[in-house]
Structure 1
Amino acid sequence: MIWVFKTTIKNKIQVRKVAPLLNELVLPHGKWNFDLEDCDKILRIENQKMEICESYIVEQLSASGYGVEVLE
């Protein structure tokens, strides 16, 4: 499964702050990365198992203080 999100994460410092959360959500069955050069500050998550859903990812990142929404 691949999910793509628009975020308000702007720099590598903020990425490092959410990295432990993303690692906990995704690893060891997937991977994640940010494209901070894109105007939408894209977060892409690939996961081999369906243990999480995109709404849970949005909820967790929002609880950390960042804006995030699913891109269709």
Structure 2
Amino acid sequence: MIWVFKTTIKNKRQVKQIAPILNELLVSPSKWNFDLEDCDKILRVENYKIELQEDYLIQRLLIAGYNVEVLE
């Protein structure tokens, strides 16, 4: 499953701050990456963990202090 999110993450320092959260939630071979040059600061997630729901990932990043919205 591939998810694409609009975020308020602005720089590499912030990516490093939430990397442990994303790494904890996602299992190999799942992958994630950011496009910080895009105006929507895109987070792209390839999720292979069936139990993980988009809403839970969004909630965890909200708790960390970042807004995250699903891009259609």
Q: Same fold (TM over 0.5)?
A: yes
TM-score (norm 1): 0.95
Q: 8 Å contact 1:33–1:43 — kept in the other structure?
A: yes
The equivalent of 1:57 in structure 2 is: 57
Identical amino acids, percent of aligned pairs: 67
The equivalent of 2:21 in structure 1 is: 21
Q: Which runs of 5+ in 1 are unaligned?
A: none
What is the one-letter code of the residue matched to 1:37? E
Residue correspondences, number: 72
What is the one-letter code of the residue matched to 1:2? I
TM-score (norm 2): 0.95
For residue 15 of structure 1, give the secondary structure of its aligned residue in structure 2.
helix
Q: Which runs of 5+ in 2 are unaligned?
A: none
* Backbone CA RMSD of aligned residues: 0.8
